Amino acid sequence: MKIKNYSKFVFVLLAAALVLTIGCTRSGGQAGSGEQYTIEIGGSTSVTPLMELFAAAYADVKPNIKVNINGTGSGDGITNAGVTYQIGMSSRELTPAEQGRGLNAEPVAIDGIAVIVNNNNPVSNLTIDQIRDIYTGAVTNWNQVGGNNAPIAVISREAGSGTRGAFEEIIGFQGRLLAGANESTSTGAIKAGIVQNPNAIGYISLGSVDDTTKAISVGGAAPLSSNVLNGSYRVARPFIVLTGSNVHAESAAFINWMFSSAGQAIVARSWIPVR
């Protein structure tokens, strides 16, 4: 009799433990809240440095989320947002045809485009008209714009680059790039080309400027975030994140975090916050 009662008691305890375990599992938060997940991101090489900062900080917020970032150009980021990538990156506005694809496009930061030359180049300021003349071939020697007597080596980004699209639109020479200009596929390649050639000129994201090259003033305004914000430095464009119609919850959470005070504080380090 005692054995029978003991067995019943043990059974009741086991049943209660099972119920408690199930209840704890269901009340532990949203499904997959602690599961490993990888967010694939691709597109603009100009947005890439900012996205890398976002990813590094987000790893402290959600260590179970891995972020893969591919700097492949704005065209690829737009084309493959919601396809190859959960999140696309663009450093230019979408064309009407691209807008027709039904993508959700949100500017996460504002960036200036810096015009850069070799550190030994004495030129420190150009007007927008002078930059346009250089990039279309109307001006071919630095002595025409106050520099040394030396031919100008023009470096641009490749076709499809968001930085190139924005730069050509702002400066006003779409489709008229000097024949024979060196077309580089990344920010790093442009900087390397200018370091190696004292007569070269190029353009990169303001957030990518460092002491390896010299960022010059445009129209008398220094390439500073404060001047982009007050409108005196006119060579600026948006950094855009793109998603398709079906967005995974973790990707949506990451984007929401970019617009939070923590995310926008990261933007403020080298770019202009949008919130």
In degrees rounded to 5, what are phi and psi of residue 4?
Answer: -65, -45
Mean pLDDT value across residues 214-238: 94
Coil, helix or strand at residue 243: strand
Give the pLDDT of residue 106: 96
Please tell me the distance from the alpha carbon of residue 269 to that of residue 254, in angstroms, as a whole number: 19
Over residues 14-35, the pLDDT tens digits come to 333 333 333 332 222 343 457 9
Helices (runs of H) and strands (runs of E) counted in the chain: 10, 12
| Residue 11: predicted pLDDT | 36
Q: Which of 73, 62, 75 is nearest to 34 (CA)?
A: 62
Beta-bridge partners for 77: none
- Mean pLDDT score, 204-209: 92
Average pLDDT, the chain: 88
Per-residue model confidence (pLDDT) at position 52? 98
* pLDDT tens-digit map of 89-132: 999 989 999 999 999 999 999 999 999 999 999 999 999 999 99
Give the count of beta carbons closer than 10 Å to the beta carbon of residue 67.
22
Q: Determine the pLDDT at residue 78.
A: 97
Distances (CA, A) of 227 to 50, 110, 112, 274: 20, 12, 9, 15
Spatial neighbors of 83 by CB under 8 A, at least 6 apart, are: 244
> Burial level of 207, CB count in 10 A (0-12/13-18/19+)?
buried
Per-residue pLDDT band for 232 (boundaries 50, 70, 90) equals very high
Segment 165-174 shows an average pLDDT of: 93
In this prediction, residue 270 carries a pLDDT of 85
Q: What is the pLDDT of residue 34?
A: 77
pLDDT of residue 33: 57
Contact 112, 231 (CB under 8 A): no
Distance CA 75, CA 83 (A): 13
Query: 193: which DSSP letter?
Result: H
CA–CA dist 76, 42 (Å, integer): 7
List of E strands, 91-184? 104-117, 125-126, 153-157, 182-184
The mean pLDDT of 245-251, rounded to a whole number, is 95
pLDDT at residue 85 above 90? yes
Q: What is the pLDDT of residue 17?
A: 38
